[in-house]
Chains A and B, each alone.
Chain A
Amino acid sequence: MTARTSFAVLALAGGALILLAAPASAERLVTTLSTSRVQVTSNFVGTDVVLFGSVERDAQTVARRGGYDIVVTVSGPRETVTTFRKDRVFGIWVNADSRTFIKAPSYLTVLANRQINDIADMNTLRRTQTGLARTLLPQDIGGDIADSIRDDPFRQAFLRLKIDRSLYRETQNGVTFLTSALFRAAIPIPDNVPTGTYEVEIKLFADGALLSRATTAFEIVKVGFEQLVANSARDHGLFYGLVTTLVALLTGWAASVAFRRD
């Protein structure tokens, strides 16, 4: 099934839903992904997952003067991450201070069709957690869990390091409108991506207000030899260690046979 036909099917299904649900807001989002499953193999160098979407309107919908804005937020599996800061202690640089971020997304990409700050005002953006800078990153502060303030150096360092590793990103022109209602976004998947379920949230804005949201998801899995190695290392550590040692001994023995000089 090509992307175009699958899109058409989904569009029909979405249209049927609109009729059944009789929505309060006039616009609806219908989206589909180019794949629901990304396979990480030994020669994986990264890929793109393409999102197609359409803004469905019914007959009574008023025309939006400013046109539509789309923000796509993709978040990977959650993980608890400690950010360490080095300080000079007795002349050497050591990890002196740390903050722990609870259930932070391991991967976070925000794609929009233009500058996010122009799409809506700050309050709306903050309330809808739109944009990297406004994503909640709760910290564990002495047993209490609270969101960090935005200019907290640990939070900024965390974002910066994630961006450096291509795991977090915000792209202003990541969403392209093909027609006034049809859009496309390429979600970049870097080669160091963690495996798990990736939530995709699509928000539709017009004239600075959030009109509608839709969610979908895809999955990233390690396949083949990599998956076998990673899974057995995690689930059967002792057995994995014994096999690795056995392979090491076999390699050593093979070398001593192959290079025997007497």
Chain B
Amino acid sequence: MQIYLPIAELPVNVLMILFMGLAVGFISGMFGIGGGFLMTPLLIFVGISPAVAVASVASHIAASSFSGAISYWRRRALDPALASILLMGGLTGTTAGVLLFTLLRALGQLDLTIGVSYLFLLGGVGIMMIVESMRAIARSRAGKPAEIRRPGSHIWIHGLPLKMRFKTSKIYVSVIPICVIGFIIGFIGAIMGIGGGFLLVPALIYLIRVPTGVVIGTSMVLTLVTMAYATVMHAATNHLVDAVLALILMIGGVIGAQFGARAGQRFSSEQLRLLLGVLVLAVGLRFAFDLVVQPTELYTIRSTEETQ
């Protein structure tokens, strides 16, 4: 069943896109992540231009993180004060990201930037996750107790000024690192079409010492607002958001996430982290392959201005 995507300007099989939404939704539900880092590459690999893929996936992530954020809000498992400080940085970062996106597109280097960013980010994070989860698995095999990081231990971040008390998270910490983290996540999210949950959650746990009970809910609020804002920004500046594509992805994504969440309960968290690490690394390597191997077609064409 073919459908014509009005912005991507190409016909696609609806069932294929729906299935991709389901599959990525399944994985995102299983690992508790947004899935943007899988969705955007998949769309690029099936022939949708990276620019349209990044802009359209933003709204897909907004949909899935909204349904997640609602369920965390019902359980009061998020910190509104922390989320609003993160958002101050996040919205600034998203604005900067969309502006850079527009500039790189004009220079013809957007696709390269997206490819290289994916390679380094996913390659690095993937390797870190694999190493960390292998160690954890080895430890549990050896019968040793899991390593517990003391939340009380101080690092340089805790010496920064402008400290603020976050009641829900029960932490007293400077707003500077929180704003910076929000900015980075918003910035790379707008350029790469990812929610950034898989980066934000560890950053909040290890750097800010946010309790694990509220960290996912809080991270989803940031993802939701930055991705909703990125959708509006991409639509207003680059006119690249394909609403038809986004809608099919959303429907597949939110359904797949429900089944994924159930499947995820069968694995231990170390196994899940190992699986996710392998997946992240594989996507990164796929980009490396495209960058390093000589393409069969060295030339690409792109319409820069339409004159009717």
Chain A residues close to B by CB (< 8 Å): 40-45, 77-88, 91-95, 98, 100, 103, 106, 154, 157-158, 160-162, 191-192, 194, 196-197, 222, 225-227, 229-230, 233-234, 237-238, 240-245, 247-249, 251-256, 259-260, 262
Contacts and interface: CB of A to CB of B under 8 A. Distances in A.
27 contacts: A41-B4, A43-B2, A77-B306, A79-B305, A80-B306, A82-B301, A85-B298, A88-B294, A91-B292, A157-B298, A157-B301, A158-B301, A196-B308, A225-B6, A227-B6, A229-B244, A233-B243, A241-B233, A241-B241, A243-B243, A249-B228, A251-B254, A255-B64, A255-B255, A255-B258, A256-B67, A262-B74
B247 interface: yes
Contacts of B2: 43, 45, 191
Interface in B51-66: 59-60, 62-66
B269 interface: no
A91 B255 CA distance: 42
Interface in B289-308: 291-295, 297-308
Contact of B300 (A91, A95, A255, A256): A95
Contacts of B132: none
Nearest to A196: B308
Nearest to A190: B11
Contacts of A93: 291-295, 298
8 closest A-B pairs by CB: A241-B235, A252-B66, A255-B254, A157-B299, A241-B232, A252-B67, A248-B63, A256-B67
B7 interface: yes
Interface stretch (B81-89, B108-116, B278-286): B108-116
A233 B232 CA distance: 11
**Interface secondary structure of A, over-half rule:** mixed
B300 A79 contact: no
B234 A241 contact: yes
Interface of B: 2-4, 6-7, 9-11, 59-60, 62-68, 70-71, 74, 108-109, 111-112, 116, 228, 231-237, 239, 241, 243-244, 246-247, 250-251, 254-255, 257-258, 291-295, 297-308
B66 A249 contact: yes
Nearest to B298: A86
Contacts of A103: 307
B176 to A, nearest CB: 30
A158 B294 CA distance: 19
Which of A106, A158, A234, A247 has the most C-beta atoms of chain B within 10 angstroms of its own C-beta?
A247
A83 B300 contact: yes
A234 B3 CA distance: 20
Contacts of B7: 229-230, 233
B239 A234 contact: yes
A233 B241 CA distance: 8
Contact of B254 (A85, A226, A230, A252): A252
B34 to A, nearest CB: 11
Contacts of A191: 2, 4, 10-11
Given A157-B299, A256-B71, A245 B228 contact: yes
B200 to A, nearest CB: 18
A259 B258 contact: yes
B115 to A, nearest CB: 8
Contacts of A100: 304
A242 B232 contact: yes
Contact of B70 (A78, A226, A234, A256): A256
